[in-house]
Structure 1
């Protein structure tokens, strides 16, 4: 029988390293002082490589917290599905800043179901954040923190040359004690860890560093203070058995997430090559005819070295640079061509809609069995005011096909669809992007959210037609 990851260590063999607590005091770390600041000798043996590694990485580690909905333990064991089987609690985890403009990576389970994501920076400042993209299958998410100035980013290493026995350091918000640092070694590499019937982590790093609830999404560092993994889970009931997602795998997944997000917004005509490691570089592999890239002078074989003020060392750098661009912007791009630097200004264009409204309607009717239209802005404002929420928008369901996946899950005409599988459905284009996404083509049980009579409800929609139903559950409590 496969082990199950639960939010309560007493009930399962594995536990996500985000934490759910009803009441917690968030403790801010005191400002660190180096031995030289305290008047000690610069050659003091107390300033070890571990101290230097933590000092180097800590400014880019953030605390993520906010209210989320969970099933109460007693109700979960009894199999209850009514309103009293859920409660609102304070959930938390950790994140890592990968871009100075406030883009942070974390585990998806840290931000899943969180109504308002709050982020506390290493300075102690607390601000809000929005979910940009997520890969539920990989348990990774990208959030954008609302900051007014640039913030420190994590130094990035590689997981391609890790050694069993190598010293590692974990930083995270263990049980709400922010910036808790622990030390251990790499116990094993390439671990595959099944967590439940529908999810399995692949190729994980096993470590002996102390990992606790609240560490999820935080960095695993090498002795140089570079991130080599993202902490994700611990084995319940065991000692010093914890796991992290290798950083090369994280970078590849996050880059794909951002590329998908950019392609929905922007038309560039570029296709690039490059590896996941810092320094791998980015080379233009193809330029589409009549595209912005072709019009403004980019050519296959160009090596991209800078976009705006950002140096480009790998495809993640390029994806993040494009993430900050908008249609109409003239993006300054520097490339190396035949040993010379060439500067171009590529004017960004909005991505064309891949499907007409009629085609999107046919897709939604055939795949999940709904007809829908965008909710008016005034309706969204009214819902947000009455429900004290911050929904960006939604789709008003006008009809449900009998026997369809939507019908089987209890979705009805009059419901407002808010999101599917971690993505918002504020427009028909959003819905089309979700239904056409490669991850959805694999037919997962996709979690969906709706509003019905000013109550937020959720269920699990089987996109690929399969027998069985899962009833909608009340997520208010």
Structure 2
């Protein structure tokens, strides 16, 4: 059946695009003669416009914005015959890689979440061969999408964005990715079908995917699917194992909507603006102020419902993703310049952002953590985090020290113990108490799913899966 035979591009049953591999040394036979300089000049002259096909031009247009993502990740080391073992008791390091797409010249890159999941240090190789590090900014586990920020000091080329709203079965498509580590491998095919719902396993299913015949291999995950104009129309995500030319991509309009929501959620935790905006997923859809909260910075500084935002700082705004990206580098208390269209004319405004109030009091967060997870936590000192980062060569921004574990609780069942440092749950970081409150109050967590957690124990990063209680258990109160 399909759920047992579908795999993301990877080595292993459900490892997606993170895999280990090695390349054997091989001997290549070279031609006995090489062309002369005059022959090379003649050959270049013969590269006629008929050879520069739409496929060639499309790849040339998009390839500079495609990056290689690689690094090590910690995985559970389950011994043979112990498939049912639970708890973060043993682990091993494997090498993984995938692909990403630059969507903002400051270095913001879209990829699949499974490409960067559990990766200790995310490394990114750019189109020009430069390798640098990256930081996970936001993720949506259930949609298998992530946004990372590449550490660069220069503008990067960005992918031309298309739309998935007008795709046609049979039209030509191109995939670019790091297939089996061969960077910038390009393949071509057609759109085989639209609106596919594809189950992966009992707990994960992709919805409304594009089915394509282009060759997708391990390492392609997170890379772009292009139309013949070189515009990105999707993110390559999965293949059907055992079949030929059956692969899948997340449609671009869906990607833009989800990534925009991810960034908005991330920004709302950091900034208080009082703005709510409307807009579509495509370039040119624009951004309109839908609501301005009373007594908010937006209301105080003159923004009004109906204003069309055309610029934030120095960045033009053509859609909601542009707006969300423009807000990423803004700090609380910073004055931000807006250009808006109102009544047929452009108006320049300045808004000073604020620090958002805590979503819950500390005592409420502690109560939720104790009743729903079974842990007593407190913030870890910055000096401790710096020491961990130095010794482990990591870049954790914070964590929560486990000061107590309730017997019989989900945390106790998963082997969490006093002294562990909680780093994240369900793809979100737990740098402070406000982060934990946001996670426990999130609609995804209210339904009580199993959520992956990450801890540091004796300078080792481990993970497991918690069955978080859907509601606080009164019997668990201290």
Determine if the TM-score, normalized by the shorter chain, exceeds 0.5.
Answer: yes
Show the 5 A alignment for 1:182-197: 182-197=187-202
Q: Deviations over 1:355-400 (max 9, x none)?
A: 2222221221222121111112222233333434333221111122
- The answer to whether the Cα contact below 8 Å between 1:15 and 1:235 also exists between their aligned partners in 2 is no
Matched residue, 2:31: none
Residue of 204, 208, 221 corresponding to 1:203: 208
Q: Which runs of 5+ in 1 are unaligned?
A: 26-34, 467-477
Show the 5 A alignment for 1:25-424: 39-40=44-45, 43-70=48-75, 75=80, 86-424=91-429
2 CA distance for matches of 1:356 and 1:465? 20
TM-score (norm 1): 0.90
- What is the count of residue pairs matched by the alignment? 455
2 CA distance for matches of 1:128 and 1:243? 28
2 CA distance for matches of 1:19 and 1:361? 36
SS at match of 1:143: strand
Change (3 A) 1:76 1:386: farther
1:405 shift after superposition: 1.8
- The answer to whether the Cα contact below 8 Å between 1:23 and 1:90 also exists between their aligned partners in 2 is no
Matched residue, 1:31: none
2 CA distance for matches of 1:76 and 1:275? 51
Change (3 A) 1:411 1:288: same
Matched residue, 1:471: none
1 CA distance for matches of 2:70 and 2:81? 23
Residue of 443, 447, 460 corresponding to 1:442: 447
Q: Deviations over 1:256-305 (max 9, x none)?
A: 00000010000111111111122111111111111111111111111111
Cα RMSD over matched residues? 2.5
1 CA distance for matches of 2:406 and 2:193? 50
1 CA distance for matches of 2:90 and 2:84? 9
2 CA distance for matches of 1:170 and 1:203? 19
- The answer to whether the Cα contact below 8 Å between 1:7 and 1:20 also exists between their aligned partners in 2 is no
Residue of 438, 462, 465 corresponding to 2:467: 462
1 CA distance for matches of 2:87 and 2:296? 53
1 CA distance for matches of 2:89 and 2:433? 34
Q: Which runs of 5+ in 2 are unaligned?
A: 25-39, 472-478
1 CA distance for matches of 2:10 and 2:265? 35
2 CA distance for matches of 1:289 and 1:439? 29
Mean Cα deviation higher: 344-353 or 174-183 = 344-353
SS at match of 1:349: coil
Q: Deviations over 1:177-203 (max 9, x none)?
A: 000000000000001100001000000
Change (3 A) 1:60 1:336: same
Matched residue, 1:473: none
1 CA distance for matches of 2:384 and 2:322? 39
